[in-house]
Amino acid sequence: MTTRRAQFSTRLGVIATTVGSAVGLGNVWRFPYEAGTHGGGAFMLCYIFFVLIIGVPVICAEFIMGREYRSGILGCYRGASGGRRWDIFGYAGVIGGIMILSFYSVVAGWTMEYCVEAATGQLTATAAGDLHDSFTGFITGGRSVLWTVIFLAVNAAVALGGVKKGIERISNLLMPVLVVVILACCINSLTLQGAREGLTFLFKPDFDQLTPSVILSAMGQAFFSLSIGLGCMMTYASYFRDDTFIIVSAVTIGALDTVIAILAGIIIFPAVFTFGMSPTQGPTLVFEVLPAIFGQLAGGGFWATLFFVLLFIGSLTSTISMSEIFISFIGDHTGLNRRRSTLLTTGIAMVLGVLCALSFGPLARLNLFNIFDYVSSNILLPVGGMAVSLFVGWKLDPAVFQRQMRSGRHIPAVVTRAILFCLRFVAPIGIAIILIAGLI
């Protein structure tokens, strides 16, 4: 059904691209706001725990499926099961992907607005006390809708450049720079007068806060941030070379992604307490706190511009990976060429994205933005993660599992056994309990 698939050319390219998918607004925007609304330290502890015991094994499972069956999520399930019984999880992944792409593009559009405002000096000129009103004015107005559309157009242009050239080059170049800038911002935040209070909020768990819904959100955040549960990593793995070392790649992605989320928290929370803001305000939090930070910095306009340009690029490497699920789904199953499938994907995302952008204004009652965010992260991704764990743990030929895990090398049996144990028992049972408890 598929012709020869493109492949990533270098080992670094594989890491840079998959980390590029994982690192993005999920770390810098979503993690701080979720941690903020769910009590800080306790949320973070659960989140790290889920990355370790569910996240890394599920990344391995997706990599194994993708590289063995060299297809998008639906094609992998069909290839591996030899039938259509698992189709529903393929479709769930594809639908989850387009939902995330839609609301994510709205926030990515906000970063574009901030690039412009920062470069023109407008952002840092706004007094901290006025940031809330000015940001609210922006997201309730028409400009944020326009940015959503522009962002998706840029995303389509990169996706049309093809797998190797477009995605790999951008990721290689810019992810390291993003990390350096984030580190610099952390150091600055640690000198703020609210640093102690902020760090206490982020790192000191208050176990009274641990309700089932907080635990569910922490699990959803882990899935979202690692780009797992919807076949994104599976699709990328279909472009892996045969010697890409699966376990090492999975651990690297989990570690880097988590570190960057924590660093984002270290930037945000000291500032939240310094500027007398509330950590619980939700999706708008980071966009009101960051300008206040840059506003008090020497050369703040420059730093703000650099930061938002990089954040924009970080978002782009993530949306490219989400789009890839849908693009490769359409390409594999309808015979449309890459150009057409990309345009179709973009068209659908634009319609839904505009509806999400309007959720902060005229469509506030419907609030598709929040619905898509909640349903994808807290339901679709965990269900998708459960499916792939069960599939690889129980149904996939054990010889395939072993061969893919080893990737042509020797690894200690205890490692493959531990991963298999997580996939068979820990992940599916854990996800099921948390989903049920959290949703009720």
In the bound state with ligand PHE, the residue whose beta carbon lies nearer, of 21 and 359, is 21
In the bound state with ligand PHE, the residue whose beta carbon lies nearer, of 46 and 260, is 260
For residue 25, state whether it binds ligand PHE (rule: CB under 6 A): yes
In the bound state with ligand PHE, the residue whose beta carbon lies nearer, of 227 and 389, is 227
Stretch that binds ligand PHE, among 19-27, 179-187, 390-398, 408-416 (CB under 6 A): 19-27
List 33, 224, 236, 269, residue binding ligand PHE (CB under 6 A)? 224
**Contact, 66 vs 260, CB < 8 A?**
no
For residue 232, state whether it binds ligand PHE (rule: CB under 6 A): yes
Segment 313 to 332, residues that bind ligand PHE, using CB under 6 A: 318, 321-322
List 21, 102, 105, 323, residue binding ligand PHE (CB under 6 A)? 21
For residue 94, state whether it binds ligand PHE (rule: CB under 6 A): no
Give the residue closest to ligand PHE by C-beta.
Answer: 26
CA distances from 172 to 186, 211, 229 (A): 23, 40, 25
Question: Phi and psi at residue 229, in whole multiples of 5°?
Answer: 100, -5
List 16, 22, 156, 237, residue binding ligand PHE (CB under 6 A)? 22
For residue 15, state whether it binds ligand PHE (rule: CB under 6 A): no
For residue 221, state whether it binds ligand PHE (rule: CB under 6 A): no
In the bound state with ligand PHE, the residue whose beta carbon lies nearer, of 21 and 346, is 21
In the bound state with ligand PHE, the residue whose beta carbon lies nearer, of 99 and 358, is 99
List 24, 55, 57, 430, residue binding ligand PHE (CB under 6 A)? 24
For residue 102, state whether it binds ligand PHE (rule: CB under 6 A): no
CB of 326 to ligand PHE, least distance (A): 11
List 20, 26, 57, 430, residue binding ligand PHE (CB under 6 A)? 26
For residue 404, state whether it binds ligand PHE (rule: CB under 6 A): no
In the bound state with ligand PHE, the residue whose beta carbon lies nearer, of 100 and 175, is 100
In the bound state with ligand PHE, the residue whose beta carbon lies nearer, of 29 and 391, is 29
Question: Phi and psi at residue 92, in whole multiples of 5°?
Answer: -60, -40
CB of 13 to ligand PHE, least distance (A): 18
In the bound state with ligand PHE, the residue whose beta carbon lies nearer, of 34 and 300, is 34
List 37, 144, 221, 225, residue binding ligand PHE (CB under 6 A)? 225
For residue 115, state whether it binds ligand PHE (rule: CB under 6 A): no
**Contact, 334 vs 347, CB < 8 A?**
no
In the bound state with ligand PHE, the residue whose beta carbon lies nearer, of 230 and 387, is 230
Three-state SS across the chain? CCCCCCCCCCHHHHHHHHHHHHCCHHHHHHHHHHHHHCCCHHHHHHHHHHHHHHHHHHHHHHHHHHHHHCCCHHHHHHHHHCCCCCHHHHHHHHHHHHHHHHHHHHHHHHHHHHHHHHHCCHHHHCCHHHHHHHHHHHHHCCHHHHHHHHHHHHHHHHHHCCHHHHHHHHHHHHHHHHHHHHHHHHHHHHCCCCHHHHHHHHHCCCHHHCCHHHHHHHHHHHHHHHCCCCCHHHHHHCCCCCCCCHHHHHHHHHHHHHHHHHHHHHHHHHHHHHCCCCCCCCCCHHHHHHHHHHHCCCCHHHHHHHHHHHHHHHHHHHHHHHHHHHHHHHHHHHCCCHHHHHHHHHHHHHHHHHHHHHHHCCCCCCCHHHHHHHHHHHHHHHHHHHHHHHHHHHHCCHHHHHHHHHCCCCCCHHHHHHHHHHHHHHHHHHHHHHHHHHHC
For residue 100, state whether it binds ligand PHE (rule: CB under 6 A): yes
Binding mask 201-220 for ligand PHE (x = CB under 6 A): --------------------
**Contact, 232 vs 324, CB < 8 A?**
yes
In the bound state with ligand PHE, the residue whose beta carbon lies nearer, of 100 and 123, is 100
Residue type, 213: S
Residue with tokens 């509330």: 278
In the bound state with ligand PHE, the residue whose beta carbon lies nearer, of 131 and 388, is 388
CB of 390 to ligand PHE, least distance (A): 20
Token pair for residue 4?
């020869």
* Residues near ligand PHE, by CB under 6 A: 21-22, 24-27, 100, 224-225, 227, 230, 232, 318, 321-322
